[in-house]
């Protein structure tokens, strides 16, 4: 006899590409969401780092309403004022010079990959070069982005993959010796691997990698889809390491939940994109650009990045103390408000948290990923800590 979950899965017109939790969310405000039964949850997933200002931030909402009273969409064949302003804002706060807008992180990584290929041909004079990526990385689910991804489970069933990627071990100093400058045009990496287990880049390793890129005129491309826009306690995670990527990949938190993606590139790289080489219908349209611009304005005016850094430090200390008190946490890692708990069964911890009305995420089988909004306060962190303490102490007793 079929259970209700199986019947629902078979009868829904939505393709079964997700194993969804048995929760139906219908409303949200700041750090909280409510389901269709009126139950309240403390949301420490932030739409997988997309809702950096919490749910339905009033400042962004007001700006979107103003824009909706005007033009919602037009193609990129025309100048879009909000897009120009957002590009200028991103250039002003980053190490880049020009911006290309799209709709998601995967599309932004695709644009970065295409830009690297163009750079290889036009600047390096190489039409058959590789892009280096790393094991346990995650760059998206389009065919090019999943080919760049260093996790086999993402690729299973989708052969033949896009050629031209070489995966090296993450945070392995000796592994960098395998980079052949004659066969390479770019390196694409996350500064903190999110889906791969919340693993920050080792500083010595990253400095060596950046040095290799500089010496050999290879592009250093930072995938900051999850870490960008204040998530790690800096506007961009590369700032923690004292490096400057040639290409910066953004999405998620840039739009406060409105779909948007972008690459920010240094001028000598951006110039490889000329009219007709790349494009998008919806990317950078008036609504998405307005959301992005309002998000950045609020973050800067209210000093949200600094706040996120303080809250991240406080949360990390609380989690580290809990790890000393219980047996179920092997390690606490991450930066800012992108935190991970290494444990035996991450999914079980996430499900137990649901029973206590706390939303968390797995990052692989053995890491619980914690992504509160950057506006989170100490009271909310303490509330989450009480739930985690209850779960892990019960785990120790079982």
Binding-site residues for pyridoxal 5'-phosphate = 105-106, 138, 223-226, 281
Overall pTM > 0.75: yes
* Over residues 308-324, mean pLDDT: 98
Fold identical between 25-56+305-396 and 58-302?
A: no
Residues 84-142 have pLDDT tens digits of 999 999 999 999 999 999 999 999 999 999 999 999 999 999 999 999 999 999 999 99
- CA 226 from chain centre, in angstroms, equals 1
Q: Torsion angle of alpha carbons 393, 394, 396, 398, nearest 10°?
A: 170
* Over residues 315-333, mean pLDDT: 97
Does 58-302 carry CATH code 3.40.640.10? yes
Cβ neighbours for 324, distance < 8 A, ≥ 6 positions apart: none
Q: What is the pLDDT of residue 322?
A: 98
* Over residues 183-202, mean pLDDT: 97
Binding-site residues for N(2)-acetyl-L-ornithine = 141, 280
Binding-site residues = 105-106, 138, 141, 223-226, 280-281
Confirm if 297 and 58 have CB atoms less than 8 A apart. no
> Where along the chain do its domains lie?
25-56+305-396, 58-302
- Say how far apart CA 251 and CA 103 lie, in whole Å: 8
Q: Where does residue 170 rank: exposed (0-12), middle (13-18), buried (19+ CB within 10 A)?
A: buried
SS3 call for 247: strand
What is the gyration radius of the CA atoms in the chain, in angstroms? 21
* Over residues 318-331, mean pLDDT: 97
The CATH number of the domain covering residues in 25-56+305-396: 3.90.1150.10
Residues 6-61 have pLDDT tens digits of 444 457 899 999 999 999 999 999 999 999 999 999 999 999 999 999 999 999 99
- Say how far apart CA 181 and CA 186 lie, in whole Å: 9
Confirm if 375 and 299 have CB atoms less than 8 A apart. no
CA angle 136, 322, 197 (to 5 degrees): 5
Residues 329-359 have pLDDT tens digits of 999 999 999 999 999 999 999 999 999 999 9
The DSSP symbol for 295 reads H
């Amino acid at each position: 006899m079929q259970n209700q979950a199986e019947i629902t899965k078979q009868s829904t017109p939505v393709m079964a590409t997700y194993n969804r939790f048995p929760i139906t969310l219908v409303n949200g405000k700041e750090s909280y969401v409510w389901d269709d039964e009126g139950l309240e949850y403390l949301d420490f997933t932030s739409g997988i780092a997309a809702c950096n200002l919490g749910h339905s931030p009033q400042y962004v909402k007001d700006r979107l309403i103003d824009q909706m009273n005007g033009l919602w969409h037009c193609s990129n064949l025309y100048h879009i004022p909000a897009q120009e302003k957002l590009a200028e804002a991103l250039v002003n706060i980053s190490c880049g010079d020009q911006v290309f807008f799209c709709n998601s992180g995967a599309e932004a990584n695709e644009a970065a990959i295409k830009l690297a290929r163009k750079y290889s041909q036009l600047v390096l004079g190489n039409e058959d070069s590789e892009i280096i990526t790393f094991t346990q990385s995650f760059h998206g689910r389009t065919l090019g982005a999943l080919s760049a991804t260093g996790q086999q489970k993402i690729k299973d069933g989708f052969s033949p993959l896009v050629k031209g990627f070489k995966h090296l071990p993450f945070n392995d100093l000796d592994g960098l010796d395998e980079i052949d400058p004659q066969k390479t045009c770019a390196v694409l990496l996350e500064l903190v691997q999110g889906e791969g287990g919340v693993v920050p880049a080792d500083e010595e390793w990253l400095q060596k990698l950046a040095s290799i890129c500089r010496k050999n005129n290879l592009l250093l491309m930072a995938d900051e889809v999850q870490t960008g826009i204040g998530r790690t306690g800096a506007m961009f995670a590369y700032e923690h390491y004292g490096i400057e990527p040639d290409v910066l990949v953004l999405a998620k938190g840039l739009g406060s939940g409105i779909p948007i993606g972008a690459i920010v590139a240094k001028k000598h790289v951006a110039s490889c994109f000329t009219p007709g080489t790349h494009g998008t219908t919806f990317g950078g349209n008036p609504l998405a650009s307005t959301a992005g611009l309002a998000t950045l304005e609020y973050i800067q005016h209210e000093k949200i990045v600094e706040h996120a850094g303080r809250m991240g430090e406080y949360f990390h200390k609380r989690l580290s103390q809990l790890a000393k008190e219980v047996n179920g946490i092997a390690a606490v890692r991450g930066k800012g408000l992108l935190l991970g708990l290494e444990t035996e069964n991450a999914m079980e911890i996430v499900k137990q948290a649901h029973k206590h009305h706390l939303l968390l995420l797995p990052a692989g089988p053995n890491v619980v990923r914690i992504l509160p909004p950057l506006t989170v306060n100490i009271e909310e962190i303490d509330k989450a800590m009480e739930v985690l303490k209850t779960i892990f102490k019960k785990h120790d007793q079982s």
